Amino acid sequence: MRKVEDNSWKPKFPLRKVSHEERVELARKIASQILDTHKDTVLAICIYGSTAKKLDRPYSDLEIFCVATDGLEVKNKRYVYDGLLVEIDYFQESNFLKEATRVGWDWPLGADQYRNRIVLFERDNWLKKLEKAVAENDRADFTEELRWAAETMTESLAAVRNAHFKGDLKELRTRAFYMTWDTARVVFLHNRRYVLTTSWFWKQLFECQEQPKGFRKLIDVVAGFEKATIAELVDAAEDLWRATMLMVQPRGISIESAVIKV
């Protein structure tokens, strides 16, 4: 007999439209439960991400961080509750403050977490320690991170060339898009600007004061936002790399070495 497939149950999209006020209300309930569970080990609980700046949209997630005393290890939580995606990140105090002072090549995407927040709980003015760490970060020299980001962008261009050499159109377009993302890191670091919310990534990128020559057009072609031939895409990727390296060159950024370094 032929087996009849049962299609009576179908997956249902778990998210619903949620207002800013609903997110904050749920966050306060979560904070209360965290305090009930971990008590005096908790130093601070805050909302971060788009909700912290009232930039959240109907399907945005709720992001919360909890800073605790060193020694308390709690796994991060990520789940859907009542139609809302919830993310709770737990940090030990020393690690969190260390990360707040660190620049890192991915600083443009991580810096906001330490700077914008809605405070749900704070013990003994603990957030002053975080503000001190952020101030130290603001004074940091970005040169090495900028060089590292430029090297990553160069690696992406090499991947674009390899894909073109193989004649693999899907890989070419994928690698080209990744290259625009890597180039964006260079531009953000060069301008010392960080992303407020990922939905504003491109908007903020094109608002940066210093940009490579022809930046918007090149990004649109390489990322695939604008229709282009394969030859036009590859040429634009090459031009984007050259223009970006010319932008950072006056800062002494070089990715080449005359000697082997180990």
List, for residues 26-63, the tens digit of each pLDDT value: 999 999 999 999 999 999 999 999 999 999 999 999 99
- Summarised one tens digit per residue, pLDDT across range 64-78 is 999 999 999 999 999
- Residue whose C-alpha is closest to residue 20's, from 51, 59, 65: 51
Predicted pLDDT at 9:
74
Q: From the centroid of its chain, how far is CA 109?
A: 3
Going by C-alpha positions, the residue among 21, 61, 49, 85 that lies closest to residue 197 is 49
| Rounded average pLDDT over 128-146 | 97
Which pLDDT does position 138 carry in this prediction?
96
**Residue of 84, 89, 58 lying closest to 73 (CA atoms):** 89
pLDDT digits (tens, 9 = 90+) for 144-194: 999 999 999 999 999 999 999 999 999 999 999 999 999 999 999 999 999
Per-residue pLDDT for 218 more than 90? yes
| CA 238 – CA 71 distance, rounded (Å) | 49
> Strand 42-48 relative to strand 62-68: parallel, antiparallel, unpaired?
antiparallel
Listed in order, the ranges of the chain carrying CATH 3.30.460.10 are 20-138
pTM score of the predicted model: 0.92
Q: What is the mean pLDDT of the chain?
A: 96
User: Who contacts 78 (Cβ-Cβ below 8 Å, separation ≥6)?
Assistant: 85, 86, 87, 88
Confidence of residue 5 (pLDDT cuts 50, 70, 90): low
Write the CA distances from 137 to 10, 28, 70, integer angstroms.
49, 29, 22
Q: Is the dihedral of CA 105, 85, 67, 47 positive or negative?
A: positive
In the chain, CATH 1.20.120.330 covers 143-251
* pLDDT cut 90: percent of the chain above it: 93
User: 20-138 in CATH: which number?
Assistant: 3.30.460.10
Helices (H) and strands (E) in the chain, counts: 9, 5
Return the CATH superfamily for domain 143-251: Nucleotidyltransferases  domain 2 (1.20.120.330)
**Containing H/E element for 122?**
strand 118-122
Most distant CA pair in the chain, distance: 76
**Rounded to an integer, what is the distance from CA 72 to the centroid of its chain?**
26
